[in-house]
Amino acid sequence: MCGIVGVVGNTNATDILIQGLEKLEYRGYDSAGIFVLGGTENHLVKAVGRIAELSAKTAGVEGTTGIGHTRWATHGKPTEDNAHPHRSETGRFVLVHNGVIENYLEIKEEYLAGHHFKGQTDTEIAVHLIGKFAEEDGLSVLEAFKKALHIIRGSYAFALIDSENPDVIYVAKNKSPLLIGLGEGYNMVCSDAMAMIRETNQYMEIHDQELVIVKADSVEVQDYDGNRRERVSYTAELDLSDIGKGTYPYYMLKEIDEQPTVMRKLIQAYTDEAGQVVVDPAIIKAVQDADRIYILAAGTSYHAGFASKKMLEELTDTPVELGISSEWGYGMPLLSKKPLFIFISQSGETADSRQVLVKANEMGIPSLTVTNVPGSTLSREANHTMLLHAGPEIAVASTKAYTAQIAALAFLAKAVGEANGNEKAKAFDLVHELSIVAQSIESTLSEKETIDAKVRDLLETTRNAFYIGRGQDYYVAMEASLKLKEISYIQCEGFAAGELKHGTIALIEEGTPVLALLSDPVLANHTRGNIQEVAARGAKVLTIAEENVAKDTDDIVLTTVHPYLSPISMVVPTQLVAYFATLHRGLDVDKPRNLAKSVTVE
Ligand code: M6R
């Protein structure tokens, strides 16, 4: 949430900042701004709305050093006054910030009497505090920044500029992501390597509660007491082409289409030359040692946990419990004696999940992160990591990460089960079954026009809708409804089909869209009974069924896949339903209102 980019010592500073912000726009897009210096004058430019609005205001803005920010509002409305960068009382210090400062009101009251603030943000208070220590109390910039860091509580990634000195950017972080990018003759800072991949693939990590002095030809890492810390750089394995849209109108459609390829990449990543499933033995042991698996996640990743629960339980013989990260961060339930925490997170940066991981580490609970982003915070701080190999996911609506998460957990379940001699695991030919899944997805993707036509009729104008299903289909219904509501703004509930009659069926009226998911031969007929019940009350029903349970009247029919993997293939038509519904309603598919891709605030 919120994206930061900074550059020091490059004559193209403005272009680098704008291009970086475009790449970071998925982290927040209600307003943006840059501060550039080192030319004939200093420039502070801000705009409400998308980066394109900001870019249009930057003609003639030149310099060698600058910082930029794309905002997802936490404190104060999306206005130019609240947009970053923010300036100190005299205007000398300029700051961008990602995160939430918990004690900003106390700081204002205790230290900043008589100061004038333009907006309502916590960030403005932080830069005033630094300015006060430097200008009113006579500290050096470094000392003033450190003193402020000792006082500020909360989550932050800061990039600070002293407008009297274009040779340096000061940065610090706590709980919010920030990286240093190493260029040739210049250096950069950013929230995400993707923002700088055009310039460099050499990066340096910053740990929590570290301060970094970034100059064109040097990078010095310190703790808040001034002790130097050594840090080596690493090469990011990102490809510029991975982060482009190509010929696609939206990232979401590109990412939906990539899913068969992702399934095949996962097969490559988790099998050896003989086609045997290979998972890090230390991870297998961690599962074997556990008496219960706790899956912690948010949003779509949480739903992927549900979709994997039955498979994990049956193949590893270990009970699986699910937790919503934001609920567990501050209230851990009674745990089993030998818990293993599995964090599922596309970004690996979700603050709610990290909050739980920090607690788990304090309690000595072993942990595994299943993530798409190597080197992400949740990956670094957990004991083990399994990667999704899905390539960057940029659309706010998560698609390929969900299917990759279930597939990655299938490799884990299979590997542990085999190691334990579990008969079901031995009989589960995962590589073959995933290849069938990839083909099933391909065949669904070839039906886009049909899905598009059905969706227009059903969802173009409705205010609400339901997805229903039983068993695994219920879990997919939860994900399908999140996808539909987050981008089309249709209020949608994912419901256990049999539960409707216990109250919620009261909401069904003439024309209410109900989308039913049917994949399980034992449960499908029961769900069909529930379909009759809603149809009798006027619902417009669309059915999505696997071939083994399909009837001639079903609207979308999918190739049958292994029951453990059916959530992977069943979710794909629902992703397309959400995509086309959003297009028909004239909305921005990739950047829905009020959201950001990477949720780095609690
Ligand atoms: O990066 P994470 O997987 O931890 O993100 C968790 C959720 O914020 C995320 O899945 C969110 O629900 C998606 N926008 C849904 O499409």
Q: What average pLDDT is seen over the chain? A: 94
pLDDT at 259: 97
62 within ligand 1 shell (Cβ under 6 A): no
- Take atom 12 of ligand 1 and give the residue whose Cα is closest: 299
Q: How far is the CA of 406 from the centre of ligand 1 (A)?
A: 14
Q: Does the fold of domain 246-428 match that of domain 2-241?
A: no
What are the pLDDT digits (tens) for 152-196? 999 899 999 999 999 999 999 998 889 999 999 999 999 988 888
> Measured from the CA of 347, which atom of ligand 1 is nearest?
1
**Pairing mode, if any, of strands 65-71 and 43-48?**
unpaired
pLDDT at 1: 67
What is the best residue among 251, 300, 476 to mutate for testing ligand 1's pocket, by most ligand atoms within 8 Å of CB?
300
345 within ligand 1 shell (Cβ under 6 A): yes
What are the pLDDT digits (tens) for 23-79? 888 777 789 999 999 878 899 999 999 899 999 999 989 999 999 999 988 778 889
pLDDT at 245: 83
> Measured from the CA of 297, which atom of ligand 1 is nearest?
4
> Measured from the CA of 396, which atom of ligand 1 is nearest?
14
- Domain assignments of the chain as residue spans, ordered by start: 2-241, 246-428, 445-589
Closest alpha carbon to 255 in 410, 397, 437 = 397
Q: How crowded is residue 166: how many other Cβ atoms within 10 Å of its Cβ?
A: 21
The residues that bridge with 441 in the sheet, in sequence order, are none
Task: Kindly report each contact of residues 544-552 with a partner whose C-beta sits within 8 Å and lies 24 or more positions away, as own/partner.
Answer: 544/515, 544/516, 544/517, 544/518, 544/570, 544/573, 544/574, 545/517, 545/518, 545/519, 546/518, 546/519, 546/570, 548/519, 548/521, 549/518, 549/519, 549/520, 549/521, 549/524, 550/518
Look-up of token digits 């209020």: 491
- Residues labelled as active-site residues: 2, 597
CATH code for residues 2-241: 3.60.20.10
- Residue 85 DSSP one-character state: P
State the Cα–Cα distance between residues 215 and 569, nearest whole angstrom. Answer: 50
Pair 322, 295: CB distance under 8 Å: yes
The residue ranges of the chain whose pLDDT is under 70 are 1, 601
State the Cα–Cα distance between residues 275 and 524, nearest whole angstrom. Answer: 34
Q: State whether CATH 3.40.50.300 applies to domain 445-589.
A: no
350 within ligand 1 shell (Cβ under 6 A): yes
Q: How far is the CA of 301 from the centre of ligand 1 (A)?
A: 6
CA distances from 557 to 259, 525, 554, 570 (A): 18, 16, 7, 10
User: Which superfamily is assigned to 246-428 in CATH?
Assistant: Glucose-6-phosphate isomerase like protein; domain 1 (3.40.50.10490)
Closest alpha carbon to 373 in 355, 351, 393 = 393
CA angle 582, 588, 591 (to 5 degrees): 115
pLDDT at 592: 87
End-to-end CA distance of the chain: 10
Name the E strands within 422-526: 464-469, 491-496, 513-518
Q: How far is the CA of 295 from the centre of ligand 1 (A)?
A: 15
What is the best residue among 489, 594, 599 to mutate for testing ligand 1's pocket, by most ligand atoms within 8 Å of CB?
599
Q: Which pTM does this prediction carry?
A: 0.83
State the Cα–Cα distance between residues 528 and 129, nearest whole angstrom. Answer: 63
- Take atom 9 of ligand 1 and give the residue whose Cα is closest: 299
| SS3 call for 28 | coil
